[in-house]
Chain A
Amino acid sequence: MAKATRESFGETILEVAADDPRLVVLDADLSKSTMTQAFMKKYPARHLELGIAEQNMIGVAAGLALSGKVPVLTSFACFLIGRLENIRVSAAYNRTNMKLVGTHAGIGIGEDGTSQMGLEDVAAMRALPNMVVLQPADHEETKQAVRWMISHEGPVYIRLTRQKMADLHGPGYEWGFNKIDVVFEPAKKPAKYQATIVSSGGPVPHAVEAAKELEKKGFAVRVANASTLSPFDGEAIARFAKDSQRIVTVEDHNVNGGLGSAVCEAACEHGTSLPVVRLGLREFGESAAPEQLYEKYGLTAPAIAEACLKNLG
């Protein structure tokens, strides 16, 4: 069943809280949007409303973590990253066991427009030592990633969607930390793939759709899903480089510093000469329905399919 990953997060912390009394949730006046209302109602004594004051919320979370709690703070991705230096010191440098939840990732937020869109958060968070960066793409993956995040000792940033995400994984799926997994393979395994698409978060279903369309036309393209963005599974990229003609990255984020950059870094560091085509934002977004924006900014199946085949200059 399609669910926004923010909804899956809200459900999961409610489940985890029952077994883990250390869990505390902090909000900055966006609990209705970040899906922590159910937690707030069930565990009012473990919920802190800090008002529209994100930097203080980050510091308070650090203090809670240093006293043995596991604070989970939520806001829109863009408002958290607006307090980068607080996150750098209070979360990353102090290596506090706090969890930062950034929702409404990318242009997927839609009509609210650019000031509400987290488009640079992954780039900034990836640059911080000690900080784990996660971006799950469906309900099951989010549930498992959130559970891992709470059990992990150290700061974690998880990036979640406003929009609903179709189920990507079948039953029995096991999420692995820092493991890029293949979510679509063509029926006939080729000697060489025309492309391997590496995507993360919102655009992953569109990447799968593109690969399916291409398969119908006789092209072999597989889709990989990177749900851990820092650290990064560079080994997987090196493997793809061996049997693919190119890699296409697709992300609802600026291409600089995000998934596209992580893939290029890994491809170079592993000594491959594989071309990488990066799809994502190269500018700010704007207001429109999310699907219109995905189309305009090249994150839907036709644009992804084109990137898999077009001549490289």
Chain B
Amino acid sequence: MSTATASPTTLKALARDMRADIIRMISAAGNGHPGGSLSVIDLLTVLYWKFLKHDPHKPDWRDRDRLILSKGHACPALYTVMAYRGYFPKELLMTLRKLGSPLQGHPDRLRLPGIEFSSGSLGQGLSVGLGMAISAKMDKASWKTYVVLGDGELQEGQCWEAFMAAPKFQLDNLVAIVDHNNGQIDGPVDQVMAIEPLADKLRAFNWEVQSVDGHDLAAIEKALAKAQKAGGKPHAIIAKTVKGKGVSFMEHNIAWHGNAPKKEDADKAVKEIHHG
């Protein structure tokens, strides 16, 4: 089992390095999704360094915590976190989306050990997380299930079937984290198909709900700590984030949802990430 010893300053530095690698790998791939990867990376960083019980050298360890990246298009962030945690060599990151690479355009559990579920078709991850959490309850096991969802993803009806079902099974071992960056391909989420008032909706569905700044590592850690509570209710964390966070010309710009930066832009982005 891995231990969580990284200090907040180390984590911040790690997140910065990983942002740069996300840009590099998507640029090398020639396509991919930088916007949502940069919005979710801080959440994944805190999860993988501070909360997940896992063993990168034994990804199928039975009692590990499970994490599903339901917004599978943000996998460059997940791959980077996994590489930094030691699941595979960092060099592999530059093979993203290339023929034969285990780093598929969307996560593939059968090609990359450590991926819990092959996601990419939005809406399915939370249901799968429910199944995992139910299984842990049946076995009286203590491992937890974390599901990271996009906010646009919540327009899928299946998410609401899952939100409805989780309290029935008293899944307090399940944490759903919404990367609420208010951006999707066709425009701002609140214009394409509004999901607000999200916190109220989830509370009405009988979830424990917290809202947090999704780029404040300490705040994320506090919220996740609170979500460890076994009170009989599933936990939701609505993380307010910025699409493209960390690269000024990508931030809040929907054009960077699914576009890879050309070399010049990538260099500019990496420089900015490192030097502000």
Contact = CB atoms under 8 A, between A and B. Distances in A.
A48 interface: yes
Interface string A61-77: 11111111101000000
A55 interface: yes
Contacts of A59: 124-128, 130-131, 158, 162
Contact of A94 (B117, B132, B145, B164): B117
B132 A64 contact: yes
Contacts of A58: 127
Contacts of B127: 55-60, 62-63, 90
B135 A63 contact: yes
B130 A60 contact: yes
Chain A binding site: helix, strand, loop or mixed by DSSP? Answer: helix
Contacts of B169: 48
B199 interface: no
B132 A67 contact: yes
B208 to A, nearest CB: 20
A51 interface: yes
Nearest to A130: B110
Nearest to B156: A55
Contacts of B121: 85-86, 88-89
A266 interface: no
Contact of B161 (A48, A55, A64): A55
Chain B binding site: helix, strand, loop or mixed by DSSP? Answer: helix
Contacts of B130: 56, 59-60, 63
Interface in B107-152: 109-110, 116-121, 123-136, 138-139, 145
Given A56-B162, A59-B127, A67-B66, 5 more contacts: A56-B164, A63-B134, A69-B138, A86-B158, A89-B119
A53 interface: yes
A89 B124 contact: yes
B105 to A, nearest CB: 13
Contacts of B161: 53, 55-56
A: interface residue count bin? 20 to 34
A14 interface: no
A37 B165 CA distance: 20
Interface of A: 24, 45-46, 48, 50-51, 53, 55-69, 71, 85-86, 88-90, 93-95
Nearest to A49: B168
Contacts of A50: 165
A263 to B, nearest CB: 31
A89 B127 CA distance: 12
26 contacts: A48-B169, A50-B165, A53-B161, A53-B164, A55-B124, A55-B161, A56-B158, A56-B161, A57-B127, A59-B124, A60-B127, A60-B162, A62-B117, A63-B130, A64-B132, A64-B135, A65-B131, A66-B128, A66-B132, A67-B135, A67-B136, A67-B139, A69-B135, A86-B124, A89-B119, A93-B118
Contacts of A90: 124, 127-128
- Of A59, A60, A63, A86, the most chain B CB neighbours within 10 A belong to A63
A60 B145 CA distance: 13
Contacts of B157: 55
B114 to A, nearest CB: 13
B53 to A, nearest CB: 15
Report, nearest first, the 10 A-B pairs whose CB atoms are least far apart: A63-B131, A59-B127, A67-B135, A56-B161, A53-B161, A60-B131, A63-B128, A63-B132, A64-B131, A89-B121
Given A53-B164, A93-B118, A64 B134 contact: yes
